């Protein structure tokens, strides 16, 4: 498996280099002075760990930086590890953007890549990150903390601010541009938050079942309860006792929908659905785009709107 991922990582580097050349394809960036490179002929190099970090960094950077994605499309980031090529990318980067906690490899990678002048942005740092408190949180890669802050449209804004500050620190000459780009994107995140709040505040049910425990911050933001089948990482398979307790709760709450996610095998979600008579639907933890997402031009905001539609449907069924 590792070898396969390594291969995928290598090919994605080529893709991300291509993508970096058309970083403003969504048409949302306001930066207009693309002459940035004042003599050096080299744009700011930003390495981002997995998809939401890449998307937020790209939105803030506009045309002023080349942003590369490390964890390739279609790969679940919880157990991904960098290849030597990724390490080389990291050591050449001016800025490294990562969420924190998900990237168990980051600390060691950063010390072996050497720091130089690189600005490292741990986007979730300083946010109130939850300890899980659950017995399912034994897996090492999360150290018992919930990393999924990007799934709260409110906390996502804080991550964008951290990325803005990191880019400004690395490239102070363009700090006004990063500020303006971040503001444009944060306005979209505020709209997303308002849409979630309006739609889910009225929901007739408050509990939803997810494949892994990615939606705790989102649930808390909108007064909902997440009932996860597995733990904070999708690789933590539930024990038979946990399965039985989830099934019991689904039946007693009359839950109609079991959510699964596209980067993880749905067989456990399907088993639970067939045992409870519920149907299945997709709730996306936005830990990576699939090829389909890419083909449809879906991005973080597009996927969050799909999540909202799916939640609204499930909670009002």
What is the contact surface with Zn ion in residues (CB under 5 A)?
214
Identify the H or E element spanning 208. Answer: strand 207-210
Give the residue with the Cβ less far from Zn ion, 36 or 233: 233
User: What is the number of H-type helices and E-type strands within the chain?
Assistant: 11, 8
Considering the complex, state which of residue 23 and residue 231 has its C-beta at the smaller distance from Zn ion: 231
For the record, the structure tokens of 86 come out as 């990724």
Residue 57 and residue 163 in contact, taking contact as beta carbons nearer than 8 Å: yes
Residue whose CB is less far from Zn ion, 150 or 178: 150
| Minimum gap (Å) between residue 232 Cβ and Zn ion | 6
Q: How far is the CB of 20 from Zn ion (least distance, A)?
A: 25
**Least distance (Å) from Zn ion to the CB of residue 148?**
6
Identity of the residue, 32 or 225, whose beta carbon is nearer to Zn ion in the bound complex:
225
CB 304 within 8 A of CB 194: no
* Closest separation in Å from C-beta 17 to Zn ion: 27
Three-state DSSP state, 171: coil
Helix H or strand E segment including 188: helix 175-200
Contacts of residue 137, defined as CB under 8 A and 6 or more positions apart, other chains included, come to 131, 144, 231, 232
Nearest CB to Zn ion, comparing residues 175 and 290 = 290
Token reading at 247? 């099934």
Residue with CB nearest Zn ion?
Answer: 214
Question: Is the CB of 214 or the CB of 315 nearer to Zn ion?
Answer: 214
Direct distance between the N- and C-terminal alpha carbons of the chain, in angstroms, rounded to an integer: 39
At its nearest, how many Å lie between Zn ion and the CB of residue 146? 9
Of 286, 281, 314, which is closest to residue 302 (Cα–Cα)? 286
Task: Report, in Å, the least distance between residue 229 CB and Zn ion.
Answer: 13
CA–CA gap between residue 111 and residue 268 (Å, rounded)? 38
């Amino acid at each position: 498996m590792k070898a396969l991922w390594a291969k995928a990582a290598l090919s994605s580097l080529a893709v991300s280099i291509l993508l970096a050349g058309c970083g403003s394809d969504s048409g949302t960036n306001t930066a207009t002075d693309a002459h940035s490179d004042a003599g050096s002929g080299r744009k700011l190099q930003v390495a981002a760990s997995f998809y939401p970090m890449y998307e937020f960094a790209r939105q803030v950077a506009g045309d002023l930086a080349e942003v590369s994605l490390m964890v390739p499309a279609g790969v679940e980031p919880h157990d991904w590890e960098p290849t030597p090529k990724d390490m080389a990318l990291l050591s050449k980067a001016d800025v490294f953007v990562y969420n924190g906690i998900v990237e168990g490899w980051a600390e060691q990678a950063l010390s072996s890549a050497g720091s130089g002048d690189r600005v490292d942005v741990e986007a979730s740092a300083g946010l109130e990150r939850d300890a899980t408190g659950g017995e399912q949180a034994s897996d090492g890669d999360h150290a018992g903390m919930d990393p999924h802050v990007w799934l709260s449209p409110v906390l996502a804004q804080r991550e964008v601010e951290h990325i803005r500050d990191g880019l400004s620190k690395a490239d102070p000459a363009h700090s006004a541009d990063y500020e303006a780009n971040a503001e444009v994107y944060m306005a979209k995140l505020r709209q997303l938050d308002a849409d979630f709040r309006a739609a889910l505040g009225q929901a007739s049910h408050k509990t939803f079942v997810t494949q892994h425990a990615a939606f705790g911050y989102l649930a808390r933001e909108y007064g909902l309860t997440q009932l996860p089948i597995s733990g904070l990482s999708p690789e933590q398979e539930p024990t038979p006792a946990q399965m039985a307790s989830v099934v019991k709760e689904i039946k007693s709450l009359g839950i109609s929908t079991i959510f699964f996610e596209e980067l993880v095998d749905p067989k456990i979600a399907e088993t639970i659905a067939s045992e409870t008579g519920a149907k299945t639907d997709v709730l996306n933890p936005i830990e990576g785009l699939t090829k389909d997402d890419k083909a449809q031009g879906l991005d973080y905001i597009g996927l969050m709107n799909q999540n909202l539609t799916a939640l609204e449907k499930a909670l009002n069924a």
